[in-house]
Amino acid sequence: MDLAQVEHLSRLARLGLSPEELQTLLGQLTAIVAAVDKLQEADVSSVDPTAQVGGLYDVMRADEVAPSLEAEQALANAPRKEAGLLRVPAIQ
Amino acid sequence: MTLLGLSISELGRRLRSREVSARELALEALDRIARLDPAVGAFLRTTEELAMAQAEAADRWLAADPQGAPPLCGIPVAHKDVLCTSGVETTAGSRILEGFVPPYDATVVARMAAAGAVVVGKLNCDEFAMGSSNENSAYQATVNPWDHTRVPGGSSGGSAAAVAARLACATLGSDTGGSIRLPASFCGVVGVKPSYGRVSRYGLIAFASSLDQVGPLTKTVEDSQLVLSAIAGADPHDSTATTEPVGDLAAALHQGVQGLRLGVPREYLAAGVGAGVREVLDQACQRLEREGAELVEVSLPSTEYALAAYYVIAPAEVSSNLARMDGVRFGRGEPAATSLVEAYESARHRGFGPEVRRRIALGTYVLSSGYYDAYYLRAQKVRTLVAQDFARVFQQVDALVSPTAPTAAFLLGERVADPLAMYATDALTLPANLAGLAGISVPAGFAEGLPVGVQVLGPYLGEAVCLRVAAAVEALSDLWHQAPPGTDG
């Protein structure tokens, strides 16, 4: 892993990290990835990946109308809103 | 001794005979929090108004129908701050959710309320439940009530410390890789991680959705059973909550261990397990044997890969789950931002602490094109190997007994600068999350004056056998009424 890669991750995940924070993260991620590389030693040739530990599959429910939050309640925590909608800066 | 040092069943008896009222219990809890919590730091906020309203309702219920009122009626409880509480600020220990007031209750919160429990506050935790020491909380450090220079464990550290210090009779926590069992062990209380799907996750702020479970922390195994019975079971709001019946968990408590085969996993005693912890486990095993259990050594060979698999799968789910923390629907707003990306980056940079950033970055990495197969897919295959190990062993034994953590509580600050050392704290608890199994940590002794728990693991939906073995460990060690110094007044 190198600095450019960590910068890319920060951008992808919208973390907005400073150059010093990127440098620190590079060292830590390098060590963590080296540790999780232990996975490469496991023989996984005969198993499928786990999808759901309880064996649940396609849980369905009846398609019925039920009460839900009012728009006002759902927007109560939003810092910026207008006419029942969320307000955000323009995409550039 | 404080009334909060009594078991829930004893308090229930006194509430029903009118020796004490729910109102008096709530006031005692709030008074103790005001006096003792400034030094412990378990609570992020108290909920006096809610507590008084619930206590008065509980008293009316107890007066009208003393035998019909549920076992938790009038009992002071508190919830980890990752559980949504309608009208009460819920932060998950993160700055990014500062001021967030949920418009609904988590299912477990609603079920505790329906059972008559009285909520006295919200509890500190590592940010978004990511951590093993509570030091990742953006708000405050919680200390271990047994030794204020040490961590309470995490991430449900506030939940464990509050019970240990007798500030609430029962608390709810969440366990993704050990976050209930580890602090329970460090603080000398009982903590239950139910099987995946045994308890609804609706209203639990998600950390890693395939691993998270809500469970109780209490002084006694019976208290935990009472809370678990109140919160467990299917929920139309959570399709991963199983519809399998919960059954009568109380029956398990008094069955003893005569005739049970208990496995001790060889790999859980490997390097890193301290001598004091080993001694506590050995003593507990000898006592269980004297009570008629058969103890056998078993092997879970894929254990060596479990930590690595966990630290791929959990961060991957973090990177996806925490994408919703964008400062748009909740948060402080970013009036200075001139573009949407800038607003996201500003909100997330100001809102997330170092551990959360680290896990989001790691999760983004293991899911990215070119690395997905080598890390995420491979980790999910290793997860199958870990589950197969357990399935094989549970054909030979009824339950497993091991240390909960390799050591007793470590010093504040000791592992903060070394993420890998912090991660290793969960080595003996996280395999059960990968496999979705039931687990309990129960106090079994002390090492150099600090509490040490024994972990009991059962098969999927094997809560009853875990409670059965844990109740025996508790009866044989007889520690539960010991309160940390300075908290019994």
pLDDT tens digit string along A5-59?
A: 999 999 999 999 999 999 999 999 999 999 999 999 999 999 999 999 998 888 9
Mean pLDDT of B5-12: 98
Catalytic residue among B7, B132, B174, B179: B179
CA angle B481, B485, B489 (to 5 degrees): 75
CA distances from A10 to B36, B323, B333, B364 (A): 42, 13, 21, 9
Mean pLDDT of B64-73: 98
Mean pLDDT of A59-71: 91
Mean pLDDT of B360-379: 96
Chain A contacts of B460, Cβ < 8 Å? Answer: 53-54
Chain B contacts of A51, Cβ < 8 Å? Answer: 380
* Euclidean distance between CA atoms A62 and A85, whole angstroms: 30
pLDDT in the model for residue B401: 98
Residue among A51, A73, A79 minimizing CB distance to B103 = A73
Taking an 8 Å cut-off on Cβ atoms, the answer to whether B357 and A21 are in contact is yes
CB B448 within 8 A of CB B192: no
pLDDT in the model for residue B168: 98
User: Per residue in B150-184, pLDDT tens?
Assistant: 999 999 999 999 999 999 999 999 999 999 999 99
Q: Tokens at residue B432, please?
A: 């059960």
Taking an 8 Å cut-off on Cβ atoms, the answer to whether B328 and A86 are in contact is yes
Q: Tokens at residue B115, please?
A: 């059972």
Known catalytic residue at B80: yes
* Euclidean distance between CA atoms B432 and B428, whole angstroms: 8
Chain A contacts of B337, Cβ < 8 Å? Answer: 89
Catalytic residue among B94, B132, B155, B229: B155
User: Per residue in B295-352, pLDDT tens?
Assistant: 999 999 999 999 999 999 999 999 999 999 999 998 888 888 999 999 999 999 999 9
User: Per residue in B14-23, pLDDT tens?
Assistant: 999 999 999 9
Mean pLDDT of B235-250: 96
Residue B79, helix vs strand vs coil? strand
Chain B contacts of A53, Cβ < 8 Å? Answer: 196-197, 210, 387, 434-436, 460
Taking an 8 Å cut-off on Cβ atoms, the answer to whether B340 and A92 are in contact is yes
Taking an 8 Å cut-off on Cβ atoms, the answer to whether A50 and B302 are in contact is no
Q: How far is CA B465 from the centre of its chain?
A: 19
| pTM of model > 0.95 | yes
Q: What is the mean pLDDT of chain B?
A: 97
Chain A contacts of B382, Cβ < 8 Å? Answer: 39, 42, 44
Give the start-to-end residue ranges of the domains of chain B.
Answer: 3-263+399-477, 303-384
Mean pLDDT of B62-71: 98
* Element holding B451 (H helix, E strand): strand B450-458
Known catalytic residue at B155: yes
- Reported ipTM exceeds the 0.90 cut: yes
> Does the pLDDT at position B488 exceed 80?
no
Task: Report percent pLDDT > 70 for chain B.
Answer: 100
For B:436-455, CB contacts with A below 8 A are 436
pLDDT in the model for residue B489: 60
CA angle B85, B320, B155 (to 5 degrees): 50
Taking an 8 Å cut-off on Cβ atoms, the answer to whether A92 and B339 are in contact is yes
Taking an 8 Å cut-off on Cβ atoms, the answer to whether A91 and B104 are in contact is no
Q: Which CATH superfamily is domain B3-263+399-477 in?
A: Amidase signature (AS) domain (3.90.1300.10)
